[in-house]
Amino acid sequence: MSARPFLLLAPLAILAACATSGPAVDGRQPANVDAVVDMTPVLRFSPNQLKIKAGDTVEFRNISAFTHTVSSRASAIPAGAVPFNSGQIKGGGTYRHTFTVPGTYNYFCDPHHSAGMTGVIVVSAS
């Protein structure tokens, strides 16, 4: 029997090991934060889509062992809004952003964008 099938499964085993070793989350919403989005060990934002009001602050929490980012491009956010980039957020770290311009914001994790780690925030005027 060839060892090749086992070699193909090795990356999944590593991912599973990392997924279980991320930082703990207490589930509480911090003061001065209107919504929370988790960056997960399975390379997803949770929730993937969020509806908030203009002026609301969202905290992005990295609950995995991977380093993530929260990034946007001018072409994927409302006119008049400023693109944002959290920089690298290590496991257990957070990033907050206040959304002031109504519209749809498409954002992504720079290192994991090609793996589908994207999200959408829809900001209403009130």
109 is in an annotated binding site: yes
Q: What is the pLDDT of residues 80-126, one digit of tens each?
A: 999 999 999 999 999 999 999 999 999 999 999 999 999 999 999 97
1 is in an annotated binding site: no
Nearest one of 48, 18, 52, 49 to 35, comparing CA atoms: 52
The single residue of 18, 39, 109, 113 carrying the catalytic annotation is 109
- Please indicate whether residue 18 is annotated as part of the active site: no
- Please indicate whether residue 109 is annotated as part of the active site: yes
Q: What is the pLDDT of residues 44-78, one digit of tens each?
A: 999 999 999 999 999 999 999 999 999 999 999 99
What does pLDDT average to over the chain?
A: 85
68 is in an annotated binding site: yes
Once rounded to an integer, what is the mean pLDDT over residues 20-46? 78
Class for domain 4-124, per CATH? mainly beta
- Please indicate whether residue 113 is annotated as part of the active site: no
**Residues found in the chain:** 126
113 is in an annotated binding site: no
The Cα-based distances of 80 to 11, 29, 121, 122 in angstroms read: 42, 29, 16, 15
Domain ranges within the chain, ordered by starting residue: 4-124
Q: Would you state the structure tokens that stand for residue 98, as one six-digit string?
A: 């206040």
Burial tier of 91 (Cβ tally within 10 Å: 0-12, 13-18, 19+): middle
In this prediction the pTM is 0.79
Q: What is the pLDDT of residue 25?
A: 52
